A and B are shown apart, each in its own frame.
Chain A
């Protein structure tokens, strides 16, 4: 079974909308409070990055179910400037905006699976999943 819902990120408030929708889905899927906080925080980081660095984009949620496990995937897509050096932005503390540089490396630690693709001048796509334990 697969289902998808999306929030488009254009203004700052959409960051809140994305994490509220994400938390609701996580709750329904049966994630515990700590995992709900992890997922919501990850959504917040990804949505803010879209808003800050790409101007606009989309956050989509997918429920993934296999025979053995159930999980929630966050897909963050934008058509912004892209990222030149993927390993650099995954370093703790690396920021180009005076932030904490904790967003992307943090999302990787908060979630279970993490995959990032980016092309300079074309945009960025991050797919990350948390499995229900």
Chain B
């Protein structure tokens, strides 16, 4: 299972629509970094509206994706985290403090525009 990555101007857009198993998550991490490199994208929005579970493994992969993309010069915003998922993450002790987030895809794009000044 591969998660599709769309390109829009200087941005990459990803909407995760599948149940995230470990292999898919790791494959996605790799694919995204390659795409950032290939397209020279400056911003990435990962939309999690359809994701019903984020456990500590997926949280680590997502956090790593943000840091790795950052190292490559692309800013990542996570959007659409469901209320139940947000509560569960905090109870797990995972605060994702260094991870930029926004309510939905549109807000995510606005945030990128603001932060990147493009």
Contact = CB atoms under 8 A, between A and B. Distances in A.
Interface of A: 12-13, 15-16, 19-20, 23, 33-34, 36-38, 40-41, 44-45, 48, 92-93, 99-100, 102-103, 105-106, 109-110
Contacts of A45: 55-56, 92
B21 interface: yes
A80 to B, nearest CB: 18
Nearest to A92: B93
A110 B52 contact: no
Given A12-B23, A102-B93, A48 B55 contact: yes
B22 interface: yes
Contact of B92 (A12, A33, A110): A110
Contacts of A99: 56-57, 60
B84 interface: yes
A12 B21 contact: yes
B117 interface: no
Given A16-B21, A41-B53, A92-B93, A100 B59 contact: yes
A45 B92 CA distance: 10
Nearest to A44: B55
Nearest to B55: A44
Contacts of B10: none
Interface of B: 19, 21-23, 52-57, 59-60, 82-85, 87-88, 91-94
22 contacts: A12-B21, A12-B22, A12-B23, A13-B21, A38-B88, A38-B91, A40-B52, A41-B92, A48-B57, A92-B93, A99-B60, A100-B56, A100-B57, A100-B59, A100-B60, A102-B56, A102-B59, A102-B93, A103-B56, A105-B93, A106-B92, A106-B93
Contacts of B52: 23, 37, 40
B22 A102 contact: no
A13 to B, nearest CB: 6
Contacts of A109: 91-93
Given A12-B21, A16-B21, A100-B60, A110 B88 contact: yes
Contacts of B19: 16, 20
B51 to A, nearest CB: 10
A23 B52 CA distance: 10
